[in-house]
Structure 1
């Protein structure tokens, strides 16, 4: 089954391709990107190609691209399903964990919230999820703000979380969006109002 493409007003979220390796390396080699999220900066195009083939190969892994240039990946977004996350039981098919990042030249344009809102819609409507998690490591202010802007709500803090790719431990802040919360936000956006919790 071919993975579908998701579209927003400004973005196309599509499956990763081997031909994305050079663009992935261009943004993932930046030390301001990976280490904050728990992975080392990429060292070569070959490493980026390996990541595309062996990491960005899940059923809900997407390259973020601009609608006017859908062949150029500028970031990554995914839903980790049952067995792919430590934030919920491995056999629970009603939950997922969202992860995302975008290349530094594209920071500050609202692309991550736009992509995340579409992936949340896909998760709740198409995959029939009951809850979507999202987490950040303590000190990652940009991710914390993005998750708050998207509408995720704090659930708990997990100390001493292993970060195996960087050989260290960190404190994880785990956030979640329930289906009812997402539906509330959709209704709010349609009416142009604000929810009580915003």
Structure 2
């Protein structure tokens, strides 16, 4: 897995040693549920999640500030073979960030770097982005990056939260990305 560097951030592979920092942010009920997953209940749960990332998600990165690369403050991923990214030249971007780091422009910065990596290094031609109704921060990140509205789906089941939600889907093509780069 490549390390991706931005002006202020390092995107690197998750390590089991990141469980403590993941738990600090993932236990916050303002972080996970808006993205569709429950707040973590223990460091052990965070370890299980990290283990799953390492085993099954080849493009899932811990987000770290450059001056503290051993402290993960969030996560970002290009998911392949997801509900949205069904073709080999497509991926779906997903992300979350610890609440103390909201409002600093970190997520658009991290997403821009991973999108560039996905288009130029991994050869994707489409990157999908989604967010649940009410997650205006995620919507705004995608707008800043040039994603275009594609469709809305009602009645999405979120079994981890035992909820039904409305989901909004956006798309960024490599062609559009290159035009606006």
Point out the more displaced range, 14-23 or 153-162: 153-162
> 1 CA distance for matches of 2:85 and 2:53?
20
Determine helix, strand or coil for the equivalent of 2:160: helix
1:87: which partner in 2? 84
2:67: which partner in 1? 68
Which of 102, 106, 112 aligns to 1:111? It is 106
Greater Cα radius of gyration, structure 1 or 2? 1
> 1 CA distance for matches of 2:123 and 2:85?
16
Point out the more displaced range, 158-167 or 121-130: 158-167
Structure 2: any 5+ residue segments left out of the alignment?
Answer: none
> 2 CA distance for matches of 1:29 and 1:56?
20
Q: Residue 56 of structure 1 contacts residue 62 of structure 1 at CA under 8 Å; is this kept in 2?
A: no
Quick one: higher RCO (CA 8 Å, sep 6+), 1 or 2?
2
2:130: which partner in 1? 135
1:16: which partner in 2? 14
Please give the per-residue CA displacement for 1:126-171, whole angstroms capped at 9, x wherever unaligned: 0111100010001111111111112111000011111111112111
Give aligned pairs, total.
180
2:41: which partner in 1? 43
Report deviation, 1:88. Answer: 3.5
> 2 CA distance for matches of 1:59 and 1:43?
25
Question: Aligned-pair RMSD on alpha carbons?
Answer: 0.9
> 2 CA distance for matches of 1:68 and 1:93?
36
> 1 CA distance for matches of 2:116 and 2:53?
23
> 2 CA distance for matches of 1:55 and 1:164?
19
Determine helix, strand or coil for the equivalent of 2:96: strand
Q: TM-score, normalised by structure 1?
A: 0.89
Q: CA 1:56/1:170 → structure 2, altered by over 3 Å: closer, same or farther?
A: farther
> 2 CA distance for matches of 1:88 and 1:134?
10
Structure 1: any 5+ residue segments left out of the alignment?
Answer: 187-198
Moved over 2 A (4+): none
Q: TM-score, normalised by structure 2?
A: 0.97
Determine helix, strand or coil for the equivalent of 1:151: coil
Report deviation, 1:55. Answer: 3.8
1:101: which partner in 2? 96
2:51: which partner in 1? 53
